[in-house]
A and B are shown apart, each in its own frame.
Chain A
Amino acid sequence: MSREWELFYNKFIVYEGYKTTLNGLALTAEIAVFGLFIGMLIGTLIAVVKVVPKYKLLPRILSKICDIYVGFFRGTPIVVQLLIGYFVLIPSIGLNLDKVAVAILVFGMNSGAYVSEIMRSGIQAVDPGQLEAGRAVGLSFSAAMAKIVIPQAIKNILPTMGNEFISLIKETSVVGYIAIVDLTKAFRQIGDSNYEYIIPYLVLAVVYLVIVMLITQGVKIIERGLKKSDRHN
């Protein structure tokens, strides 16, 4: 075995570096999963606001607020948002939030901006006749949206949402900036311990790759399940 592998093996197994790594993996997953969940909630809300007919004042104001929100989160790097969230916003309102909670919030809000655009295109791809038919049988706008349009929109955008989740997972690798020991940071610490980075970083890349491949497969399976209403049987 080469010297690099030996060093990595020593640190990873003998000195139990895998524990921090597994912990880091859990944190990465936690931030990405909850972040996506918050992102979907925010994204769906914004998307619905954007498709509501705009002849009244309230929808117009809400729509403007949403524009500003999306503009900010798409117009600045996620690292900057993370730093502002953790070092500026949270201390300034005197809240003592855990850094992982801050990361989840920031990633959720960031993802919400992107999901809103995906969701909007998904909603707009649903035949307007579907909403109309729902309204015609007496459902309110929100009931028709929730029961008829959004389920179909979600089916439309599922592959894209898979991509969003994948990029979210990869983006979480910057949470080291606020001292969270996620997957990336954990491998970096292994490298730091003996200034030998080649193997840790290569293994890190492989771990991300495997995660992403697993998600891709998972999305395919869900997609197949949701396609039920398209099948001609």
Chain B
Amino acid sequence: MIDIINLNKKYGELVVLKNINETVAEGEKVAIIGPSGSGKSTFLRCLNCMEDPTSGSIIFEGEDIADMRVDINLRREHMGMVFQQFNLFNNKTVIDNITLAPTHLGLKKFRQKKIKNFFIICLNLFRKEKKNLLEINTTPKRIRAEAKANAMKLLARIGLEEKADKYPSTLSGGQKQRIAIIRALAMNPKVMLFDEPTSALDPEMVGEVLDLIRELAKEGMTMVIVTHEMNFAREVADRVLFMSDGVIAEEGTPNEIFDNPKNLRTQQFLKNVLKAR
């Protein structure tokens, strides 16, 4: 589903990612672990070009999205992203947070079709063989209503319907993060990217967020998760990547990585992390 080919990322002189090659298959759950500063987050953010790769290709559904000529906005609709700091839109209510993108993009496509039809009508005046108009089987009102109904359904799923008209500042961290997750789901993404989704949460709230991610995993969503929750990674992931100094130092099934790490750096990291518990 996502092929990463010769990915390099530099900030000026600082090399963050060194020639990474990796493939994420459809339905696969990949966990990325590693010390801070190893490039995990940068790697994840390169997958949907939140950070533009310095060189290399990100092939998503057969298209190189690192190419500047590709409309990245259209591709990002299919790549949900969840941030460490939740990043709910502070000026919007919960429901508006979820419906903003589906409504805006739905309306945009609707208007584009209308404009195209207008040109077709104009050009048809001069054509012998009339071209058919594009089919428009929706209205702005319906786009809005559908986005809202879908958002309410997603809110019901996480049991937060009564928060629909509240502003993010009134929510707990766990609630914010769960809403951020369903905001991404509202776009019907084909893959979800999680950037340390529980690192900014109170310990008490980590569980509810992980439960939701677990549920998504069971439903077969393709996921890439940067995390410090080793037990969670072991439980959910099909494959674990250990990153260190801008390269994937070791990768394998959770059992291989956690029980029998080959790389010295991996052993050290896991020892330090597990000792801290």
Contact = CB atoms under 8 A, between A and B. Distances in A.
Contacts of B170: 231-233
- Mostly, the A contact residues are helix
Interface string B99-128: 011001100000000000000000000000
B50 A138 contact: no
Nearest to A55: B52
B37 to A, nearest CB: 20
B100 A151 contact: no
B87 A130 contact: yes
Contacts of B169: 229-232
Interface stretch (A61-69, A140-148, A187-195, A209-217): A140-148
A138 B73 contact: yes
Contacts, number: 81
Interface in A120-142: 127, 129-130, 132-140
A3 interface: no
A133 B76 contact: no
Query: Size range of the interface on B?
Result: 20 to 34
A224 interface: no
Contacts of B104: 139, 143, 147
B184 interface: yes
18 contacts: A129-B83, A129-B85, A129-B87, A132-B83, A135-B73, A136-B79, A136-B81, A136-B83, A137-B76, A138-B77, A139-B73, A139-B101, A148-B89, A152-B90, A152-B91, A229-B91, A230-B167, A233-B170
Interface of B: 48, 50, 73-74, 76-77, 79-81, 83, 85, 87-93, 100-101, 104-105, 166-170, 180, 183-184, 187
Given A139-B105, A151-B91, A228-B167, 16 more contacts: A127-B87, A130-B90, A133-B88, A135-B50, A135-B73, A136-B79, A137-B81, A137-B187, A138-B73, A138-B105, A143-B104, A147-B104, A148-B92, A229-B91, A229-B92, A231-B169
Interface of A: 127, 129-130, 132-140, 143, 147-148, 151-152, 155, 228-233
